[in-house]
Structures are given as structure tokens and as C-alpha cells.
Amino acid sequence: MSDAIMQRYTPTIEAMGNYGWDHSNSVVLHGMEKIYGRTRDKAYLQYIQAFADQFINSDGSIKALHASMDGMHPGVLCLFLYQETGDKKYLQAAKTMRDMMLGTAAQPSTFMRTPHGGYWHKSEPRYKNVMTVDGLYMAYPFLVRYALVANEPALLDLAASQILMVSASSFDQRHKLAYHGWDWGKEQPWAHPITGNSSQFWSRASGWYSMMLADVLEYLPPTHPQYGKLLFLFQNLAQGIKTAQHVDGFWYDVLDVPTGAGNFPETSGSGMMVYALQKGVNLKLLDPAYAAVAQRGWQALQTKVSRYQDGGPQINSVAPGMGVQKDYEAYMAIRPVSVPVPQGKHHPHGYIGVLMAASVMEK
């Protein structure tokens, strides 16, 4: 699939949709990074580097930054490229990302925060006091890794506290799944008037959330005071994911009602959860029995991959990009798409789920 992506979107992934320095590009490249880690194919490294060099200047400054959790995700590419090339401009670029979010003495952060200190998903009025589990994935695996590279342990504390803050509100103990969003002010049309939570367990939200926990726990030192809480959270989430898996191996767009009207097997979230479960087993964070759950999901995913007109793979049954929705019917009104398509928008989420799953499932 990585080869097909490079052939379709030239000279860089930016050709997919002109998304800029944003997660819509970087999540696909991060998936390719994972495949590179297994194959060591230099073409993948060069493709990732070509994209980064479109935006990163020689001094490590970055063009077109924007203050949102989604805008933080490309930071993982900076750390990857520094690791692979040794070029310090990438480490400086990672610091630029860190400084954008946390601020410096000379330049305060432009990220908005809730009254209790949580980062808004986007620093825009329509996202006032809104935090999402998606946003946890976009920022905190990067910050945890950066903390270790830059020897800045306070970032480990920040990442852990923000994850636990959102989880305290968004993780449902009965279903052991994560609600898509949470509104501190309880003002959004989708927010429960008492809890502030959204109403649905969306597949890709739990996909992002599960990958975040797996990736954070890979790097967070086991001696960290919050490690045990995060591990407990991941293990509980794994139980919920296992329970929500349909008999066909998929996870459906709204996880807890797979037979609901209009619900469908959703490939992006399914691939993410396959990755998280198998990685959890590989890291000995989860019981080995979860490997069978991941394998069923991986086999199901392959039934939604067809041959596209260019000879490469097409990923089908993908939930397109969306914000938090009001209710089940609103999620179902947004119908699945395929990627790529002859005309119209190419949805990057279709690629990342399969790439991430392949990175841990293919031998």
C-alpha cells in the first residue's frame, strides 16, 4: 500500500488534498513510517522527508502552524526524521511544535484551555471548552517521545495528566469504551446536560484512543507515577474493544449497536484497534489472548480491500472525517466512503487504519 500511496500522490502526500502541516497528511506518513520500520525501504523514508522539507525551514521553524491538537500530530515525523537522519533541524522542528503548544517565556502559547486546564481540541470559538479523545492521539505520543529525547520530564507529567483528565470524563466504565467528545461547559448541541459527554461510541474515536494509549505506554517509563493508571485504562479499554467486536471480525461505526439501522463495518477504526491490541500483546501490556481478537480484525479488514483502477489497493467502508455528532442518527447520516476514488475528496483515514494494522500483523 505504501508504494501505491507514493505513486498516487506526487511529489509528496500534500498532493492528496493540500492539507498542509496537519494530521490529515501526517497520519498517513506515520503509517508509512511504521511500515518503514519493518521493511527499511529507503523510498518510504525519502517520501516522508520530502513532505517534511516542504514545511520545515533550515532553522527548524515551520510554515503554516496552527494551534490545534490536530496540528500537533506532524511532530512525530520530526522525531522520526531526526532519529533516522541525525539532522538537528528536525529536532529543532520538534521543539517548535512543543513551544507552539506549551509556549515559552518570549512567546506564550496560543492554545486555548478549559478552566480546569484541559486543551481545547481546536482553539476556535466553535470548539470552546471541547476536548476529544482524537486530540489525545494527535498530541501526547509525540510529547512523551519528545520529553525523553529532550530530557524534559515535566512533559511526561503534562501528557499523563491531560490523558487522565479527558479519560475521567470520556471513558465509560460500563461499556469500557470512550465517548467521542466532552464539553466542559456542557454547551455543545451534542453535550449531555449533566456529564458534558457526547452520546455515542464512535469507532474511530476509540481507534485513536487505543493507539494513543499503546504508543504512550511504549515510551512512558514504567516508573512514572501515572504509568499504572494508564496501563489499567488501556487494559480496560481492551476489554471493551473485545466485547464490541462483531462476529464478522469488524468493529462497526457506532461500536455498541452493530445491528442498529444503517450501521456498517468501519475499516479505519477497526485497523486502529487491531494495531493497538496487537501492539499491546507485543509489549506485554495485554494478555496474549488479545492476539486472536486482533487476528480476527485483521482478516476482516482484508475483505474490504479491493483492487483500484490503477492496480493498487482501494480501502472501502471508511467513515469520512467528521466532528462530534449529536446522536446515533447523525453518525449514520454520514455514509462510508472508499479511498481512493476517481473524483472528489480522498479521505486519508482509510489509509492509516490499514497501514497501522499491517505494521504489526504482517510478517
Residue-level pLDDT, tens digit, the chain, 363 residues: 999 999 999 999 999 999 999 999 999 999 999 999 999 999 999 999 999 999 999 999 999 998 899 999 999 999 999 999 999 999 999 999 999 999 999 999 999 999 999 999 999 999 999 999 999 999 999 999 999 999 999 999 999 999 999 999 999 999 999 999 999 999 999 999 999 999 999 999 999 999 999 999 999 999 999 999 999 999 999 999 999 999 999 999 999 999 999 999 999 999 999 999 999 999 999 999 999 999 999 999 999 999 999 999 999 999 999 999 999 999 999 999 999 999 989 999 999 999 999 999 997
| Cβ–Cβ under 8 Å, residues 216 and 230 | yes
Tell me what pLDDT residue 363 has: 77
Contact 184/119 with Cβ under 8 angstroms?
Answer: no
pLDDT, residue 103, reads 96
Quote the CA–CA distance of 361 and 359 in Å, as a whole number: 6
Residue corresponding to grid cell 483515514: 349
Q: Are strands 305-307 and 313-318 parallel, antiparallel or unpaired?
A: antiparallel
- Given the candidates 3.40.1110.10, 3.40.50.300, 3.90.1150.10, 1.50.10.10, the CATH classification of the domain at 2-361 is 1.50.10.10
Could you tell me which residues are beta bridge partners of residue 113? 119
For 151, residues 6+ apart whose C-beta sits below 8 A from its C-beta are none
pLDDT of residue 163: 98
**CA distance linking residue 202 with residue 269, whole number of Å:** 8
pTM of the model: 0.97
Q: How many CA atoms lie within 13 A of 240 on its CB side?
A: 24
Using alpha carbons, select from 159, 136, 177, 149 the residue that is nearest to residue 23: 136
pLDDT digits (tens, 9 = 90+) for 194-206: 999 999 999 999 9
First-residue to last-residue Cα distance in the chain: 15
Long-range contacts of 87-92 (CB under 8 A, 24+ apart): 88/60, 89/56, 89/57, 89/58, 89/59, 89/60, 90/52, 90/56, 90/60, 91/60, 91/149, 91/150, 92/59, 92/60
Q: Sign of torsion, CA 276 121 144 197? A: negative
Q: Is 195 exposed, middle or buried (0-12, 13-18, 19+ CB in 10 A)?
A: middle
Domain ranges for the chain = 2-361
| Closest-CA residue to 205 (of 158, 137, 130) | 137
Collect all residues with Cβ–Cβ distance below 8 Å to 92 and sequence separation of at least 6: 59, 60
Q: Does residue 125 have a cis peptide bond before it, meaning omega lies within 30 degrees of 0? A: no
Q: Which residues pair with 51 in a beta bridge?
A: none
